[in-house]
Amino acid sequence: MRFLEFLKEATAAKGKTPAEKKKEAQEADNHVAITFGRFNPPHAGHGKLLDAVKAHGGDSGNYRIYPSRSQDHKKNPLGAQQKIDHMRKMFKGHKDAIQNNEGQRNVFDIYFGTGGAPEGVLAAAALQCIGGQMQTRLVIRNEDEKKRTIKNNKTIQKNWKRLMLLLAKALLG
């Protein structure tokens, strides 16, 4: 059966233009690259960081920049809104990716708070990085969740090692 599916896909893709193939690849790529930092004050080196994050956004170009909300006179002279305004002026190519959400005060606020699977995956990944394990039970409540579970399971299996390495870097510095 898989061979027949392969043939159908191959013949369907045969007549597509490069632009159509690229658009399909972008739609299929649903990961997001993020960075979090003080950016206080923003400078040219931060521009290189933002370019690198954008490059890791994959075919979809999906990436986000999260400036911290911290402010003090010694290390963080600019307020959150001032910093974001300066960043959007300095890095015009990244203007739409720079996030301004008062509820996201640190990197954990960005990852957590969505509930369910993202929090579970991050907790399991963190435990595995330090040699631990986690056992969970997934409760599927409706048909939509069933479809998403099947789709996301394939994505997680494909990207698990990369996720572990990125999480280890984020947690361990």
Domain boundaries along the sequence of the chain? 31-111, 112-173
Cβ–Cβ under 8 Å, residues 47 and 81: no
CA distance 150 to 162: 20
Please determine, for residue 36, whether its predicted confidence score (pLDDT) is greater than 60: yes
Q: What is the pTM of this model?
A: 0.53
pLDDT tens by residue, 73-126: 888 889 889 999 999 999 999 999 999 888 777 766 776 644 455 666 667 777
* Alpha-carbon torsion angle 115, 125, 106, 32, nearest 10: -80
In which band, very low, low, confident or very high, does the pLDDT at 63 lie, cut at 50, 70 and 90? confident
The whole-number pLDDT of residue 114 equals 45
Name the most confidently modeled range: 13-22, 91-100, 158-167: 91-100
The whole-number pLDDT of residue 93 equals 92
More confident residue, 160 or 83: 83
In which band, very low, low, confident or very high, does the pLDDT at 35 lie, cut at 50, 70 and 90? confident
The whole-number pLDDT of residue 85 equals 94
| pLDDT average, residue stretch 142-156 | 75
CA distance 59 to 38: 27
CA distance 124 to 90: 38
More confident residue, 19 or 112: 19
Cβ–Cβ under 8 Å, residues 87 and 49: no
The whole-number pLDDT of residue 120 equals 65
DSSP states of 104-172: --SHHHHHSSS-SHHHHHHHHHHHHHTT----------SHHHHHHHHHHHHHHHHHHHHHHHHHHHHHH
The whole-number pLDDT of residue 60 equals 67
Which pairs from 16-19 meet CB under 8 Å and 24+ separation? none
Average pLDDT, the chain: 76
Which pairs from 124-127 meet CB under 8 Å and 24+ separation? 125/163, 125/164, 125/167, 126/167, 126/171
The whole-number pLDDT of residue 42 equals 92
The whole-number pLDDT of residue 50 equals 92
Q: Which run of H or of E encompasses 64?
A: strand 63-67
- Give residues with Cβ within 8 angstroms of 129, minimum separation 6: 164, 167, 168, 171, 172
In the block, residue with structure tokens 């649903």: 30
